[in-house]
Every structure is written in structure tokens, then in C-alpha cells.
């Protein structure tokens, strides 16, 4: 397995270079270094000298990818792309264009993201699996029919509606939770309940339908029939056999997103005023802070690759027949 | 052998019970559930609201709660130039002057200054000139500013000293910074007295290019030796950096234009005359900066920990930034070292009736703390205001109808729901102008500069468009009526603005029955015809004249507004092509002068007509000088009048000049004057001294909160409503019963 992990890690390097290059090109197609300088220096009384100074201080006064005025390797190394990208591979994110330490900011802001994302994922998983097992158990009955109708309805509703509706209903009309906000320490829980409820409820539709399909696929297989023939209760058949055998596709969906939980939820964080990494990325895009954008995209890519690797490894745990070679 | 009985789980109990007992058990559970819910209901009565986002213990305190939607980028007074940044740092930093809170028109008064600065004029030989000297003979204007002794800085680690007298936190090594990530991690703090040196030091900071002060260019034109100092200090900084020193001490480097005369007095020498300079002395750019603080923040390792001057301001103001987490909240706490300042006692009769003079003579600030929470979205912000968790609020267009009713005569008043809550409305025409501009270098709308006939053609075309675009309709549709149509570039409340018949734009309006009435479309068509475009037909092509509108507006939200513009031009038969782009490209087009028609706005720096009329001053054009004259308007007569007007004191003579300038602009129509936005803000009954001030940002110290009333209202408005939750729980419980029955029936059924 170790050889497999090493090989996958090596594969990751060209992928990350590609992601980095793509981010770089997309960003600079839309924003020139002059635009970035103007954005950071403000709209009033900005002089050409100030723009040049800003660019020079941050290394944006160099060519983007190829330096035609340099010779040898410096044609590639004396460029914005090389200067800004190489350090990322050592996870040195450097400073944002406004001068803040990105690594420090990420380490601070990942906790609020996790505080919402982890409960949403765990509670959501529990609710979705329970609900879909119930639907699978009552398959073909009116409960199954109306359950699926409910799921499709919930899937069709925009995430934004859940957020605004949840804030209005539970926060404003019933006065049960703060509408938005966040705090650290012991007071944090009261700000987390509402976004977690909304996060879980909004995922029930699609999650339950997906898991129901997986369970129904397993429930008609021979080993389930054998289990029933042995006289096992339906409860044990569902939990001990159907659920266990449906774990691989569930793991595929769950483990791959585990590392990316750090990245936070853009919408939830924005509407609830949660200072997580989701809102960090959105803010950076709005402020044209390339240093943060590339750091977050790079981090996202690394975490996604890590998630895929973890998924592969988890297969071997869920199904002993799987071997990674 | 010991036998142990295991307590059964409820589900296991259920398995062992007959069905009738299960129902009984559910009933039992329901009883407990009911008792629990009743308990919750009782808990809800009289207890602090559950949805209170703040600690319950603070509800009755002198704490101000508000929100901000955009995180401030810079808190360094040399660099900060946005209203959302000044909302914070103006409570911390104290320039020598400030605006009187109640007096209108806006009036400067001393803040840390002992009295208003004195001005002395000198000719090129250094001889003292009389106050009313001809501006052309003035070579140097010298402002002399004396500050009050005994003013002290907020507690700050930069001032802390060890018992031996050395600075406690300078120099710091990497080891000293272990486990220090915020300013609060430096346990020892101290203060020192404010001196004239600190003001001079800050002015020197403005000149240092690495500080990126947005006014460095402007001040370089006015303050003597400013540019040369910047170069010398920059060179010194490069040497320091090369030798590993992160801080450059600006104290030993002389700037001729700024001098410390004694511990409490300093002077600023300007080249020629610049009467508007005094307004800059009320801005944060000219607030004091203790050199110790700059040196403290410049130490190695500080920037890596985000402990910078840009993040942690240090001042003498009524508040200090005790928590700076702009991703969550920013908290201003009362500065324990704040000098004595009393609430103003002078105001109008209207102020007295509004209760704005009740606190006259009382020491400020009235608040212990101000908590600003980040609210990016308008809906939660509005809902929290209605719940009483924000003391004041603006009105987003989504909430406008819920908050405001427009009366038959166009006056805005609160809806009954708002009045029932005791919410109050403040309105004020902002010192801003929003306009549509023509690029005067464009051959179609600006005309050939060397051909008087072509210039006349273009002028008539612009005038026709000016009549056709119905700004009253725009304000009504897109601004919920929050604005006043502009007849010139100077907003109301600023010297030079003329109201009534004297102030109307005669090209676009006529005075009829005591009000300005937009001229008929036929007059616009007549002008268009005279311009050579009868019915909007371009004789060159034989089809509709095509004009181009460049804008940074894009997306579905802007579509209706852009279509409205197209419709306005269509009234004249002109085809308007909208060229939407992003803001970056738009700015680039403006810089290159490739836009034809555009929209822009300007927010006053200071309440002087010069700050608006300079937007059309030739030597300030965007294409040639990267200035703020985005229309690139250049008119020798206007420029000549501007040069005279800018150095004059307010009075009849200046007004006459301004009238001539505005009249000239109305005739030339380089702008469609658009409108002056009207600010609507709401506040709760417990928020006192809430008079809007459009020039001052340091108004938090005047505000007072009736905490007891707020706590009571918050409790009344936010009682938890539990019955829907209980009903939902009961329904779920009931719905489970058939499922359990079916489940058990299946469990017991024979295999088929």
C-alpha cells in the first residue's frame, strides 16, 4: 500500500502545477497587476507612481509567465508565476496582497469552518442514512412514495431558500436562535445550531435519495435473501448486511469531502457571518487578492487529492477484498 | 457466582412489550415531553431572549451595537481613505480639528488643538503679508497649530517600559514573540503625553512612498519640501532595509514644510495659498502618530503575526480598538486615558426640540463599548435590527417598503409597524453627487476642439440628452425616491449650492408655479435637430445616431437600469449601445479616454465647493493628468474662474463666481448632473443624539444608549415561540406510530 501512496503522491505534483497554472492564467486574464494595485490603493487620488510602487513592492512589476528580457533559466524564474507559485509547494503561502500572513489567517479561520462543516456532515450522514434505510425498509409502500416525493421536493429547493427561510422562521418568527453571528468558546454553540440545522435539512433531499438507491440495490441481492432465510430480523438485515455492503459508495462520497471540510461553506458562512475559510476565499476574490486566491485554490486541490487518496485507503478497510497495488 | 442485571434500553423494552403497552409507553413519553415543553415555555417567560447574539449580561449596559458589511482594508491613518475604515479609526485617532456636531453649515472647531490654527502669509522674499493679500503674491502660507497639553495616548505596549527605563517590548527577538499572536498578548501597557512631534511625525509618514498614502501626491503639490523629503526618506529606508533594519526613523530627517516649534506647537508651510488645507486638518491623515508605535510594529516577526499598525491603531481618541477581527466583529472600548471633552452646548432650536442639547456640557464619551458585527447580507442585518440587536440601520431596497411610506406630497415617513416599535427615521441629502458624464475628447459628444461649429453641435446634442434623461423617474424607480435631482455639481449643504429658482439648471428646467419643471421633450428634439440629428437620425449614416454607454454594471440586477437608460435615449430617437464590462476594464477605458458616455460619482472630502468644481477643472483631466476630471472637460473661462474661486473665502463675491462657473457648466453640459443621494437611516428609541453628520466620522463619542429600555424591548420582542416546535414534535411522534406498527408486523410476518 505504501508504494501506492507514494505513487499517488507523485502523481499529485503535475496536477498541482496544472491547477496552479490554470488559476494563475484565469486570474490574470481578468485582472492585470495594475487593476490589483488600483483595487488595493483605493479609488480616490491614486497616482501612476503609487501603482508602480505597489507593484514593485509585491513583485507584480515582472512579466507574467515568460520574461523575454532575461536569459537562460531566468526567462522562466524571473516571472510572477514562478515567484508566486514555487513557495506554495512548501506550503509557504506568504503574505496576502494587503500584507497579512496567509498561513496564520488560514490556521485561524479553519476552525469556524470546521465547527459548522463537521456537525453538518456527521448529523447529515446520520439523518440521511436513517431516513433512507426507513425508505428502503418501507419500499413500495405509500411511506416510500411520499418519502421520495419529499426528497425530490427538498432537492428542488435552492440552498439560499433554506438559509433565508431558516433564518426567518427559526430566528425571527420563533426567536429560538440568533439569526446570524459567531462566537468562540462556550458561547459558540448557540450560533452553530441554526446553520447546522439548515445545512442538514438542505442535504436531506439529495442525500437520502442517493442512499436509498444504494440500499435498494443491495437489498435485492442474494446475500440479503440468505440473511432473511436464516431468520435474521429485518433490523439486523438492514444494519448488519445492507448498510455494510453499501458502505463503499457511501465512503466514496463521504471520505473524499472530509479534508475539504476545512474549506468551509461559501453561502452558509456568508449569510451567518461565520469567519471561516469559505468567506475568506470569497472576500479575496472580491478584493482581487491573488495571493489568497492562489493559496486557497492550491490548498483546495491538495485537500481534494488527499481526500481521493483517503477514499482509496478506506476501501481496504470497508472491504477486505480490496487491495491497493 | 455473582449475577448482574442489565438495564434495558428503551427500544429493547419496546421489543418485549405487547403493542398495547407500546402505545401506553408512547403516552408516557408524551407526558414527559409535554412537561419538558411546558418547562421550556415557562423558561421563555422573563428569561433573556434565546436569540440574543450578545452576552445577556450586556443588554442593559452602555454598549452600542451596530454592523458593518465590508471589512476595512487599512487602519493606518496615513493610508486609510474609505468611509468604512474611517468609521473605526476616527474614534481612535484625533486630528487637531474636528467638525462641530450640531452646527450647520458645517463648521470646524478644535479637537486636540488648543484653538483654531493661525495662518500667516509670506511673499517670495519671506516678508509677512496681510490676511487679505492678493493670492498671486503669496509664496508661503504657514499654519501654526497649538495642541492642548496633558492629552495622553491609549494604553499600548509600545509605551511600556522596564524598571530600568528601557522599552519593555523593544527590541524583541523571535523567542520573545513565541505565543504572541495579537496585541492583547503583550501584557504590559503604558501611555505617554501627546506632543507636537507626533503630528509632525505623521506628516512625514505621509511623504514616505512605502506608506502608500493616497494624498501623498496632493500634499506634494502643497507642503513645502514634501517631495524632497519623501525621496530622502525613501533612500534612507532602502539603506536601512539593506542593512536589516525594518524601521526607518523619520525624526532626524528634516522637512522644511513641517516644524516643531515647541512641545505643543507645530507649523505647516504650504506653497502659495491653499485655503482648503484647513479641512485636511480634520482628517485622519493628519492625526498624530507616536514613533514608538511605528517602531514597535516594525520589529521582525510582527508582520508575520499580523501585528501591524495597519491592524492595531494607537491614538488619543475616546475609544480604542480592543478587538479587531473584521471577519467577525470589531469592538471599540472606552479609552481610559481620554482627555476631557464635553458635549456641545450650541445648536439650533430644532436641535433643542429634538433633545439634541439635553446632554450639553456632559463629559463624553457616553458609551463604554461599541460592538460592530460583520453582516454581509442585508436580510439578516435588517431582521436583527427589527429584533433590537442593532441600535441603528440603513434601509436596503428589499426592506424599503416595510420601513417607509411615501406620502402624497412625496415626503417619506415610517410605516405604522416601525412607528409602533418606536423606530425613528433620519434623512439627509448626502454631500455626494452621482452624474452621467460625456467624454469631452470624444468627437461625437465632445466635438472637435479646434472647430467652434462642431463644438456647438456637440453642445446642443449634450443639452438635448440632458433634457431627455428623466432623473426624477430614475430616483423614483431605482432609489425608492431617495435622492434630489441635481442642477449643478455642488450638493445642498455646501457653500455655493443655490436652492430655488436661482439654482435651477435653465438648460434642463424652467421655473413654473414655484418649482423646477423639466423642459418638454420637444425642446430636446429641437436642440437635437439644431445639432444636425433631426429625430435622432445621423446624417452620415441615415440611421439612428448610435452612442455608447460604458459601465461597470453587469448581470441581471443591472439589466432594468441599463434598459431604462436605453429607453431615455430612445425618446430622442438615439440608439444607446451599452458596453458593460468589469470595473477594472472600465477604469482602464476611463484612463485611456476610450469611453464615450459613463456614470460616476463623487463623495465630498470636505465641505467646500472647490472639492466638487475641481472635478471639471482642466488641469485635473483624467487622460492627461490621471486626475479626477473624468469627463476631461477643459474650458479656459471655467479654469480661470476656478483658479480665482478656490482661494477665496466664502462670501458674496465667491458665490457670484461659483454661479458663473455653474452656469457655464449648465450651458456646456459636460455632465448630466444626475442627483444628490439622500441617506435614510433608522434608529431605535433608546439610541440618543443620532443627528446625521455627513462630514464628521468621529461622532460615536456623542451617542448615548438607554440600556434599560433596550433590554426591556429586546425581551418583549424576542420571546421564544415554542408551540410550533411542540406541534411538530407531536406530529412526528404520531406519524411514527403506524411505522412502528408496520415494522413490528413485518418482523412477525412469515417469510413468503
Q: Which three cell numbers stand for residue A236?
A: 439486523
Lowest mean pLDDT among A30-44, A161-175, B424-438, B538-552: A30-44
A50 touches chain B (CB under 8 A): yes
- Collect all residues with Cβ–Cβ distance below 8 Å to A104 and sequence separation of at least 6: B181, B304, B305, B306
* Residue A95 belongs to a domain: no
Contact of B332 with B321, CB cutoff 8 Å: yes
Q: What is the pLDDT of residue B750?
A: 67
What length does chain A have? 325
Q: Are residues A130 and A210 in the same domain?
A: yes
Write out chain A residues lying below 8 Å of B743, CB-based: 137, 234
pLDDT bin (cut points 50, 70, 90) of residue B263 is: very high
Q: What is the pLDDT of residue B33?
A: 54
B721, A42: Cβ pair inside 8 Å?
A: no
B384, A173: Cβ pair inside 8 Å?
A: no
Q: Are residues A9 and A135 in the same domain?
A: no
Tell me which residue in B212, B305, B718 faces A41 most closely, judged by beta carbons. Answer: B212
Last residue of a domain, one of A90, A125, A144: A90
A180, B628: Cβ pair inside 8 Å?
A: no
Q: Which three cell numbers stand for residue B261?
A: 516649534
Q: Are residues A39 and A66 in the same domain?
A: yes
Tell which A residues from 163 to 182 touch B, by Cβ distance under 8 Å: 164, 167-168, 171-182
A104 touches chain B (CB under 8 A): yes
Mutate to test the interface with A, among B374, B382, B386, B589 (most CBs of A within 10 A): B374
Chain A nearest-CA distance from B643, in A, is: 20
Contact of B88 with B332, CB cutoff 8 Å: yes
The pLDDT of residue A43 is above 80: no
Tell me which residue in B325, B584, B725 faces A31 most closely, judged by beta carbons. Answer: B584
Write out chain B residues lying below 8 Å of A173, CB-based: 721
Tell me which residue in A32, A137, A178 faces B53 most closely, judged by beta carbons. Answer: A178
Averaged pLDDT for residues B409-438: 92
A177, B379: Cβ pair inside 8 Å?
A: no
Chain A nearest-CA distance from B713, in A, is: 14
Last residue of a domain, one of A90, A116, A142: A90
A48, B626: Cβ pair inside 8 Å?
A: yes
A53, B742: Cβ pair inside 8 Å?
A: no
- Collect all residues with Cβ–Cβ distance below 8 Å to B249 and sequence separation of at least 6: B291, B295
Total domains in chain A come to 2
Q: Are residues A36 and A176 in the same domain?
A: no
Q: What is the pLDDT of residue B635?
A: 96
pLDDT bin (cut points 50, 70, 90) of residue B487 is: very high
A190 touches chain B (CB under 8 A): yes
Q: Are residues A9 and A46 in the same domain?
A: yes
Q: How far apart are the first and last CA of chain B?
A: 45
Mutate to test the interface with A, among B14, B16, B50, B53 (most CBs of A within 10 A): B53
State the CATH number of the domain containing residue A202.
Answer: 1.10.3720.10
* Residue A37 belongs to a domain: yes
A279 touches chain B (CB under 8 A): yes
B387, A273: Cβ pair inside 8 Å?
A: no
Q: Are residues A239 and A296 in the same domain?
A: yes
Average pLDDT, chain B: 90
B304, A181: Cβ pair inside 8 Å?
A: no
A99, B310: Cβ pair inside 8 Å?
A: yes
Q: What is the pLDDT of residue A318?
A: 75
Q: What is the pLDDT of residue A319?
A: 76
Lowest mean pLDDT among B12-26, B259-273, B311-325: B12-26
Q: Are residues A147 and A243 in the same domain?
A: yes
Q: What is the pLDDT of residue B19?
A: 46
The pLDDT of residue B747 is above 80: no
Q: Cα–Cα–Cα angle for B418, B419, B423, nearest 5°?
A: 70
Name residue, grid cell 462566537. A183
Q: What is the pLDDT of residue B532?
A: 95
The pLDDT of residue B547 is above 70: yes
The pLDDT of residue A40 is above 90: no
Tell me which residue in A48, A180, A182 faces B384 most closely, judged by beta carbons. Answer: A180
Chain B nearest-CA distance from A3, in A, is: 38
Q: What is the pLDDT of residue B38?
A: 53
Q: Which three cell numbers stand for residue A265?
A: 461553506
Tell which A residues from 294 to 313 touch B, by Cβ distance under 8 Å: none
Average pLDDT, chain A: 87
Max Cα-Cα span within chain B: 119
Chain B nearest-CA distance from A187, in A, is: 8
Write out chain B residues lying below 8 Å of A283, CB-based: 71, 327
* Residue A163 belongs to a domain: yes
Most confident listed range (A253-257, B37-41, B334-338, B538-542): B334-338
**What does the CA dihedral B540, B541, B543, B547 come to, rounded to 10 degrees?**
-70
d(CA B52, CA B58): 11
Lowest mean pLDDT among A200-209, B467-476, B576-585: B576-585
Q: What is the pLDDT of residue B612?
A: 96
Tell me which residue in A45, A54, A233 faces B747 most closely, judged by beta carbons. Answer: A233
Contact of A311 with A256, CB cutoff 8 Å: yes
d(CA B502, CA B479): 26
Share of chain B above pLDDT 70, in %: 93
Q: A with B: how many residue pairs have Cβ under 8 Å apart? A: 158
Helices (DSSP H) in B318-377: which residue ranges?
349-353
B144 three-class SS: strand
Nearest-by-CA chain B residue for A173: B721
pLDDT bin (cut points 50, 70, 90) of residue B643 is: very high
Contact of B536 with B573, CB cutoff 8 Å: yes
Higher pLDDT, B408 or B566: B566
A270, B376: Cβ pair inside 8 Å?
A: yes
Residue B44: count of CB within 10 angstroms of its CB: 17
Q: What is the pLDDT of residue B35?
A: 54
pLDDT bin (cut points 50, 70, 90) of residue A34 is: confident
A48 touches chain B (CB under 8 A): yes
* Residue A96 belongs to a domain: no
Q: What is the pLDDT of residue B37?
A: 52
pLDDT bin (cut points 50, 70, 90) of residue B96 is: very high
A52 touches chain B (CB under 8 A): no
Tell me which residue in A39, A45, A234 faces B218 most closely, judged by beta carbons. Answer: A45
Q: What is the pLDDT of residue A202?
A: 94
* Residue A250 belongs to a domain: yes
Nearest-by-CA chain B residue for A137: B743
Q: Are residues A245 and A219 in the same domain?
A: yes
B53, A31: Cβ pair inside 8 Å?
A: no
Tell me which residue in A233, A234, A273 faces B373 most closely, judged by beta carbons. Answer: A273
Most confident listed range (A46-55, A220-229, B182-191): B182-191
Q: Are residues A119 and A52 in the same domain?
A: no
Using CA atoms, how far residue A198 sits from A124, A184, A195, B486, in Å, is 10, 20, 5, 47
Write out chain A residues lying below 8 Å of B587, CB-based: 35, 38
Write out chain B residues lying below 8 Å of A141, CB-based: 742
Q: Are residues A65 and A10 in the same domain?
A: yes
Q: Are residues A73 and A150 in the same domain?
A: no
Last residue of a domain, one of A61, A90, A119: A90
B377, A271: Cβ pair inside 8 Å?
A: yes
B81, A44: Cβ pair inside 8 Å?
A: yes
Q: What is the pLDDT of residue B751?
A: 56
* Residue A97 belongs to a domain: no
Q: What is the pLDDT of residue B6?
A: 41
A49, B325: Cβ pair inside 8 Å?
A: no
The pLDDT of residue A255 is above 90: no
pLDDT bin (cut points 50, 70, 90) of residue A30 is: confident
For helices A277-286 and A102-137, the axis angle rounded to 10 degrees is 120
Phi, then psi, of A265 in degrees rounded to 5? -110, 125
- Using only C-alpha atoms, chain B has a radius of gyration, in whole angstroms, of 33
Return the DSSP state at B190.
B
B722, A174: Cβ pair inside 8 Å?
A: yes
Q: Are residues A22 and A153 in the same domain?
A: no
The pLDDT of residue B549 is above 90: yes
Nearest-by-CA chain A residue for B714: A175
Tell me which residue in B214, B304, B584 faces A35 most closely, judged by beta carbons. Answer: B584
d(CA A84, CA A98): 15
**Boundaries of domain holding A23:** 2-90
Averaged pLDDT for residues A66-88: 85
B356-385 pLDDT, tens digit each: 999 999 999 999 999 999 998 899 999 999
Chain B nearest-CA distance from A18, in A, is: 27
Averaged pLDDT for residues B243-266: 96
The pLDDT of residue B13 is above 50: no
A179, B387: Cβ pair inside 8 Å?
A: yes
Averaged pLDDT for residues B395-421: 88
d(CA B658, CA A62): 47
* Residue A102 belongs to a domain: no
B386, A179: Cβ pair inside 8 Å?
A: no
pLDDT bin (cut points 50, 70, 90) of residue A165 is: very high
Element (H, E) at B239: helix B226-242
pLDDT bin (cut points 50, 70, 90) of residue B521 is: very high
d(CA A21, CA A25): 6
ipTM of this complex prediction, to 2 decimal places: 0.83
pLDDT bin (cut points 50, 70, 90) of residue B5 is: very low
* Residue A36 belongs to a domain: yes
A134 touches chain B (CB under 8 A): yes
Averaged pLDDT for residues A295-314: 88
A46, B308: Cβ pair inside 8 Å?
A: no
B589-617 pLDDT, tens digit each: 898 999 999 999 999 999 999 999 999 99
A92 touches chain B (CB under 8 A): no
Write out chain A residues lying below 8 Å of B384, CB-based: 179-180
Most confident listed range (A141-145, B324-328, B631-635): B631-635
Lowest mean pLDDT among A75-84, B86-95, B271-280, B418-427: A75-84
Amino acid at each position: 500500500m505504501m508504494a501506492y501512496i507514494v505513487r499517488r503522491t507523485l502523481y499529485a505534483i503535475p496536477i498541482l502545477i496544472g491547477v496552479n497554472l490554470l488559476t494563475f492564467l484565469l486570474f490574470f486574464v481578468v485582472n492585470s497587476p495594475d487593476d490589483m494595485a488600483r483595487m488595493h490603493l483605493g479609488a480616490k487620488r491614486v497616482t501612476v507612481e503609487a501603482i508602480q510602487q505597489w507593484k514593485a513592492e509585491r513583485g507584480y512589476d515582472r512579466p507574467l509567465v515568460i520574461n523575454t528580457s532575461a536569459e537562460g533559466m531566468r526567462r522562466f524564474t524571473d516571472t510572477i508565476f514562478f515567484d508566486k507559485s514555487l513557495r506554495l509547494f512548501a506550503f509557504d503561502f506568504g503574505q496576502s496582497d494587503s500584507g497579512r500572513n496567509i498561513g496564520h489567517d488560514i490556521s485561524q479561520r479553519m476552525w469556524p469552518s470546521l465547527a459548522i462543516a463537521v456537525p453538518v456532515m456527521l448529523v447529515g450522514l446520520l439523518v440521511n442514512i436513517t431516513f433512507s434505510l426507513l425508505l428502503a425498509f418501507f419500499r413500495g409502500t405509500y411511506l416510500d412514495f411520499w418519502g421520495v416525493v419529499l426528497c425530490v421536493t427538498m432537492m428542488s429547493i435552492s440552498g439560499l431558500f433554506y438559509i433565508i427561510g431558516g433564518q426567518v422562521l427559526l430566528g425571527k418568527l420563533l426567536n429560538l436562535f440568533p439569526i446570524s453571528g459567531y462566537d468562540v468558546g462556550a458561547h459558540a454553540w448557540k450560533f452553530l445550531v441554526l446553520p447546522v440545522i439548515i445545512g442538514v435539512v438542505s442535504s436531506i433531499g439529495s442525500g437520502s435519495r442517493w442512499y436509498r438507491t444504494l440500499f435498494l440495490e443491495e437489498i435485492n441481492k442474494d446475500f440479503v435473501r440468505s440473511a432473511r432465510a436464516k431468520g435474521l430480523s429485518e433490523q439486523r438485515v438492514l444494519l448488519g448486511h445492507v448498510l455494510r455492503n453499501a458502505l463503499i459508495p457511501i465512503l466514496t462520497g463521504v471520505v473524499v469531502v472530509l479534508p475539504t471540510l476545512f474549506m468551509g461553506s461559501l453561502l452558509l458562512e456568508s449569510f451567518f457571518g461565520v469567519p471561516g475559510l469559505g468567506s475568506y476565499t470569497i472576500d479575496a476574490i472580491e478584493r482581487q487578492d491573488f495571493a489568497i486566491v492562489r493559496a486557497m485554490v492550491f490548498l483546495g486541490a491538495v485537500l481534494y487529492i488527499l481526500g481521493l487518496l483517503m477514499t482509496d485507503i478506506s476501501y481496504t478497510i470497508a472491504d477486505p477484498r480490496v487491495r491497493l497495488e | 457466582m455473582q449475577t448482574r442485571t442489565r438495564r434495558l434500553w428503551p427500544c429493547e423494552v419496546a421489543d418485549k412489550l405487547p403493542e398495547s403497552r407500546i402505545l401506553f409507553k408512547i403516552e408516557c413519553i408524551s407526558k414527559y415531553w409535554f412537561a419538558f415543553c411546558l418547562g421550556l415555555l415557562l423558561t421563555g417567560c422573563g428569561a433573556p431572549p434565546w436569540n440574543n447574539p450578545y452576552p445577556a449580561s450586556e443588554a442593559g449596559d452602555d454598549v452600542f451595537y451596530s454592523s458593518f458589511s465590508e471589512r476595512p482594508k487599512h487602519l493606518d491613518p496615513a493610508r486609510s481613505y474609505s468611509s468604512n475604515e474611517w468609521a473605526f479609526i476616527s474614534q481612535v485617532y484625533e486630528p487637531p480639528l474636528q467638525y462641530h456636531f450640531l452646527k450647520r453649515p458645517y463648521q470646524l472647531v478644535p479637537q486636540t488643538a488648543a484653538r483654531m490654527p493661525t495662518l500667516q502669509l509670506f511673499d517670495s522674499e519671506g516678508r509677512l503679508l496681510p490676511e487679505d493679500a492678493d493670492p498671486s503674491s503669496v509664496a508661503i502660507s504657514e499654519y501654526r497649530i497649538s495642541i492642548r497639553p496633558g492629552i495622553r495616548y491609549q494604553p499600548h505596549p509600545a509605551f511600556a517600559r522596564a524598571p530600568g527605563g528601557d522599552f519593555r517590548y523593544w527590541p524583541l527577538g523571535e523567542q520573545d514573540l513565541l505565543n504572541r499572536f495579537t496585541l492583547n498578548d503583550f501584557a504590559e501597557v503604558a501611555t505617554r503625553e501627546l506632543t507636537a512631534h507626533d503630528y509632525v511625525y505623521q506628516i512625514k509618514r505621509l511623504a514616505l512612498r512605502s506608506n502608500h498614502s493616497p494624498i501623498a501626491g496632493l500634499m506634494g503639490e502643497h507642503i513645502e519640501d514634501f517631495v524632497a523629503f519623501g525621496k530622502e526618506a525613501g533612500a534612507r529606508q532602502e539603506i536601512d532595509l539593506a542593512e536589516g533594519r525594518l524601521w526607518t526613523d523619520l525624526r532626524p530627517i528634516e522637512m522644511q514644510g513641517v516644524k516643531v516649534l515647541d512641545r505643543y506647537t507645530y507649523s505647516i508651510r504650504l506653497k502659495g495659498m491653499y485655503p482648503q488645507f484647513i479641512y485636511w486638518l480634520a482628517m485622519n491623515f493628519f492625526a498624530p502618530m507616536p514613533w514608538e508605535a511605528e517602531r514597535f510594529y516594525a520589529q521582525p516577526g510582527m508582520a508575520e503575526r499580523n501585528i501591524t499598525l495597519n491592524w492595531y491603531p494607537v491614538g488619543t481618541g475616546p475609544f480604542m480598538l480592543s478587538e479587531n477581527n473584521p471577519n467577525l466583529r470589531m469592538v471599540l472600548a472606552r479609552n481610559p486615558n481620554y482627555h476631557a471633552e464635553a458635549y456641545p452646548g450650541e445648536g439650533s432650536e430644532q436641535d433643542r426640540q429634538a433633545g439634541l442639547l439635553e446632554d450639553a456640557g456632559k463629559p463624553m464619551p457616553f458609551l463604554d463599548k461599541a460592538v460592530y458585527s460583520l453582516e454581509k447580507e442585508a436580510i439578516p442585518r435588517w431582521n436583527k435590527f427589527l429584533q433590537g440587536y442593532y441600535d441603528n440601520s440603513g434601509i436596503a431596497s428589499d426592506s424599503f417598503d416595510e420601513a417607509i411610506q411615501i406620502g402624497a406630497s412625496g415626503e417619506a415617513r415610517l410605516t405604522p409597524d416601525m412607528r409602533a416599535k418606536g423606530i425613528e427615521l433620519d434623512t439627509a441629502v448626502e454631500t455626494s453627487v452621482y452624474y452621467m458624464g460625456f467624454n469631452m475628447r470624444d468627437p461625437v459628444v465632445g466635438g472637435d476642439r479646434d472647430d467652434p461649429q462642431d463644438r456647438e453641435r456637440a453642445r446642443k446634442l449634450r443639452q438635448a440628452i440632458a433634457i431627455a434623461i428623466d432623473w426624477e423617474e430614475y430616483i423614483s424607480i431605482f432609489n425608492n425616491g431617495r435622492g434630489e435631482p441635481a442642477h449643478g455639481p455642488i450638493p445642498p449643504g455646501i457653500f455655493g449650492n443655490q436652492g430655488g429658482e436661482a439654482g435651477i439648471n435653465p438648460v434642463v428646467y424652467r421655473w413654473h408655479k414655484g418649482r423646477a419643471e423639466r423642459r418638454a421633450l420637444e425642446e430636446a428634439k429641437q436642440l437635437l435637430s439644431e445639432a444636425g440629428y433631426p429625430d435622432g437620425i445621423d446624417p452620415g449614416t441615415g440611421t439612428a445616431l448610435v452612442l455608447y454607454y460604458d459601465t461597470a454594471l453587469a448581470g441581471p440586477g443591472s439589466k432594468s437600469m441599463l434598459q431604462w437608460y436605453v429607453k431615455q435615449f430612445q425618446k430622442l430617437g438615439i440608439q444607446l449601445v451599452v458596453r458593460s464590462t468589469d470595473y477594472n476594464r472600465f477604469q482602464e477605458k476611463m484612463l485611456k479616454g476610450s469611453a464615450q458616455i459613463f456614470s460616476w460619482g463623487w463623495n465630498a472630502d470636505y465641505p467646500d465647493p472647490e472639492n466638487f468644481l475641481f472635478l471639471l477643472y482642466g488641469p485635473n483631466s483624467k487622460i492627461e493628468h490621471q486626475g479626477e476630471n473624468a469627463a476631461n472637460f477643459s474650458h479656459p473661462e471655467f479654469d480661470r474662474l476656478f483658479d480665482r474661486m478656490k482661494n477665496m473665502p466664502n462670501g458674496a463675491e465667491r458665490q457670484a463666481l461659483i454661479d458663473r462657473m455653474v452656469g457655464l457648466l449648465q450651458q456646456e453640459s459636460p455632465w448630466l448632473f444626475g442627483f444628490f443621494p439622500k441617506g435614510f437611516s433608522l434608529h431605535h428609541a433608546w439610541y440618543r443624539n443620532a443627528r446625521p453628520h455627513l462630514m464628521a466620522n468621529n461622532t460615536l463619542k456623542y451617542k448615548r444608549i438607554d440600556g434599560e429600555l433596550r433590554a426591556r424591548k429586546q425581551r418583549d420582542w424576542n420571546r421564544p415561540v415554542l408551540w410550533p416546535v411542540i406541534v411538530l414534535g407531536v406530529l412526528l411522534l404520531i406519524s411514527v406510530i403506524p411505522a412502528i406498527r408496520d415494522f413490528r408486523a413485518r418482523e412477525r410476518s412469515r417469510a413468503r
